[in-house]
Every structure is written in structure tokens, then in C-alpha cells.
Amino acid sequence: MVNEIAKIISEINKKYQKGAAEEHQLIYDSASETLEPVYFWILDKMNEFFGGNVEKYVDNFVSSPGSGHFSELMGKATKMQEEAMKSLGMVNNLIKAIINLVYDLKNFQLRLLEYDKAKSKNPTEAEAGILALKQIWIDNVDIKRGNTSIKGLASQFDYAMLIDAFLTAKSVSDVDKLDVNERIKRILKPRVLEFYEWLDKSEKELRQRYELEKTYLKSELASLKLYTRWAKPYLKAASELEQSASGRRPELVKAFNTILLELVLVGKSPLKIEKLVNEKNLPKIYLELDKRKKIRKYYSCVVVDLFFRGIPQRLQQGYVYGGRTEVTFRAYALNEDELKSFEKKFDETDIADALKLVEITTGESLASIEEDIKKFLEEKPKTPEEAGKKEKETNPFFALLGIGVKKPEGKKPEEKPSGKIREDSFYEKPLREIAEKSAQETCFNLFDIYKKSHGMLSHPSPY
């Protein structure tokens, strides 16, 4: 797995197909020498050279199935998975509840829209709103009377005009003006009065219920976030305890007590144009080119691969590992486009942090739900009196998509970077050479200082 880094860099920059600009390897085999002192010494020294800009790109391990180390770690991983599944079960239940609440709130919005139309200053729109509410009252409230309801009576020949008369009457006094017989008028007057009383009370109750549902939705969302936070540590721990595939590696024998560890550290240091100009390593024109962003940033990079084959020994505080250690130091010079491509290709090789799966399971699904309910949580409560007033508001969904939002003038849309990295320009070639020389020197110094500090033979620096 550690060789994947070199392969990716050689794909990005053809110059490194035959190998890094500088490469040194250190191998020693000692049952008493553990990997931790080697790793932390190199990490601390790289932080000194690169100003703390050091990242760990690979952290894999695999132990033989017959070892006690394998059994203990698998037991821990199983426990983490069980705890994570409990929290995720609650998350799934809360997501279902939130989906139902969103559906109910949308139904409330559709109903309240008719009340808003009924109070519109536009006569045509107001009439349409009242007619819609009358139909709702007939179908849901009056229908409970059975045969004596408006629909039930209208099925009889003597009351055939009852529904039309009810929909036409705008008030109780309007009933007397209708061209219908007295029998229909006597039935119609209490029904019209009852409808307008229901109209006022039902709107208040519906708006109260709407606000209560939004408050409950907010509470359920807070609970969902809480359970998600509880699940993440267990999912992260379970993913980190997963072992990498061993394939056909001869070092790993099932019945042996063996462990393989792979670690990759990458240090990056950007070239400082102003410093190079002051030191007379570059002409002053580079200051203007850098200011106008006519040249890309270049980095001196050192990649350290650590491969360890050891025998885990159980102590009270945990395991210690003694065995064979291989440390490889490689130097590269990369520009900002190559680094971005490197990050992308590295992720595509599935070497990236397994926590991304956790983010998809929890974080991203939660974000998609938040987008769906955002308009309900940010909506201000509206009283029945305010419902008739039209206000120009921005729909949160349209705002998210950029619809109806004025874009600032003078800004051009960002160009999407193409897949192919352009070659170094005339002014960039010297920067590549300086970055590569700096990376070579840092790479050798890391290798040389480590050997000297551990009493090993070394030779004078060629730099």
C-alpha cells in the first residue's frame, strides 16, 4: 500500500516515473527495537523541517488470524459496531418521524393557503378561497350529519339546489336574497352561520397546530443530531479497527504471531517568492508575477514510507512490537495543481480515511433532511390577521438553487478545472528546480540526521 503514493505521483508528473528526485532507504531488524520511537522521531523532525505541515496518508495494519492480537482487536471492533448500530437504529426511527412531520406540515401549508386566499384583496382570489373552504367544510364537517347534511339533502329532489345556494351565499343576510324556496332558506341560514364560525375558529386552531408541529420538528431534529453525534465515535473506532487486506503476502502466516504495519507521512513546504527574490535566487519580476497570480505555487515534498513486520507482545498496558523496520525517504517537487490531483487520486484509490463512509451515513443524510425542513424552521409564525397580507419573501429552496436571487454584477462564473495539468511555463521551470533541490536537501538531511543521532555510519552532505 505504501508504494501507491509513488505510483500516484508518477502518474501526475511523468518526470518521476523512474523514481523520486532523491531516495534513501533504512532497514534494520531488531526484536528489541519497536516502531514507536522510530515513527515519532521522524514525525517530530519532519514537523521541524516543514513547520508542522505534515500529514499521515496511510495507516494500515493486519495481524495473523492465529495471534492473540487479532482476537483482541476483532473483539473491540465488534463491540464498537454493536454500540454504533444501537444509535443508528434510533437515528432511523427519528428520520422516519421527521419525514412524517414534514409531510404533515406540507398538508397544513396547503390548507392554510386557502385561508390566505380567502382574505386576499383580489375579489376573484378571495372568492376562490372561500369556495374551496366551503367545499372542505361540506366534505369534512357537515358530512358527519349523515342524511341531514347538505350533501345528503341535496340528493333528494326537493333540495337539489341546496349545494349551489350554500356556495353562493356570502353571509346569513345573503340567504334571503337567493331565488330559492323558503324550505331551503330555513336549512341554509344556520348552516351558513355555522360555516363562518367554523372558518374563524378552524384557522386559529390550524395555525396553532402548525406552529406546534414546527416546534416538535425542531425537537426531533435536535434529538437526531444528538444520536448522530453519539453514533459517530463508535463508527469511527470500528472503521479504524478494521484490518487491511493482506493478499498473498508471504510475511503473514495464519498460525504465526505476526503483525504488519504500513505508515506514510507526507511533508509539504511552499516556496516563498519574496524570500527567494531577497536572497537573489530569483529576479524581481517574480514578485509581480506572484502578485498577479501568473505563476502557480510550488512545494518541496518529502514522503516517508514505514513498513514494519513484527511480533506483538502483550503487556499490562497494551502491546509492544519488535521486529524488522523499513523506512524509505523520497523527495518530490509538485505545484498546487499536482497536489490537488494527488489528493483526488489518493481518495479514489480507497486509501482515504474510512470515516468518509460515516459522514455519508450520518452527516450528509442529516444535511439533506435539514435542507428539506429548513423553510419550516426558519418561517416566522403568522397570525390570521397577517395571513391576508402578501409579503415578498424568498423561498429557501429557491435560494439554495440560486433562483430568484440577484447575482452580484462584475463576477464571472468560476471555470471548472480541466482534468489535464498544464506543463510548467517559462517562468515556472526555475521554481520547479528550486523546489526539487530544496526537497532533495531536506530528504537527505532527514535520513542523515536520523543515522547520526542513532550512532550509524553516514557520509558528508552533497548539498
pLDDT per residue over 246-277, tens digit each?
Answer: 556 666 656 576 778 888 999 999 999 999 99
- pLDDT, mean of residues 205-232: 82
User: Which of the pair, 384 or 135, is modelled with greater confidence?
Assistant: 135
- The answer to whether 164 and 139 have CB atoms below 8 angstroms apart is no
- pLDDT, mean of residues 76-81: 74
Q: Kindly indicate the confidence band of residue 101, based on its pLDDT and cuts at 50, 70 and 90.
A: confident
* Region of poorest pLDDT, from 106-110, 238-242, 295-299, 358-362: 358-362
Is pLDDT of 242 > 90? Answer: no
Q: Residue 327 and residue 63: Cα distance in Å, rounded?
A: 20
* Region of poorest pLDDT, from 59-68, 169-178, 371-380, 398-407: 398-407
Query: What per-residue confidence (pLDDT) applies to 391?
Result: 44
Q: How many Cα neighbours within 13 Å face the side chain of 219?
A: 7
- pLDDT, mean of residues 164-171: 83
User: Which of the pair, 95 or 24, is modelled with greater confidence?
Assistant: 24
Q: Write out pLDDT tens, residues 359-415.
A: 555 555 556 556 666 777 777 666 655 655 544 444 443 333 344 444 444 444 444
Q: Write out pLDDT tens, residues 413-442.
A: 444 444 578 888 999 999 999 999 999 999
Q: Kindly indicate the confidence band of residue 342, based on its pLDDT and cuts at 50, 70 and 90.
A: confident
Query: What per-residue confidence (pLDDT) applies to 269?
Result: 93
pTM of the model: 0.56
- The answer to whether 131 and 170 have CB atoms below 8 angstroms apart is no
Query: What per-residue confidence (pLDDT) applies to 331?
Result: 95
Mean confidence (pLDDT) of the chain:
78
- pLDDT, mean of residues 194-199: 88
Query: What per-residue confidence (pLDDT) applies to 217?
Result: 86
The residues spanned by each domain of the chain are 1-64+257-355+424-463, 85-235
Percent of the chain scoring above 70 in pLDDT: 75
Query: What per-residue confidence (pLDDT) applies to 120?
Result: 85
- pLDDT, mean of residues 177-199: 84
User: Which of the pair, 81 or 385, is modelled with greater confidence?
Assistant: 81
Q: Kindly indicate the confidence band of residue 161, based on its pLDDT and cuts at 50, 70 and 90.
A: confident
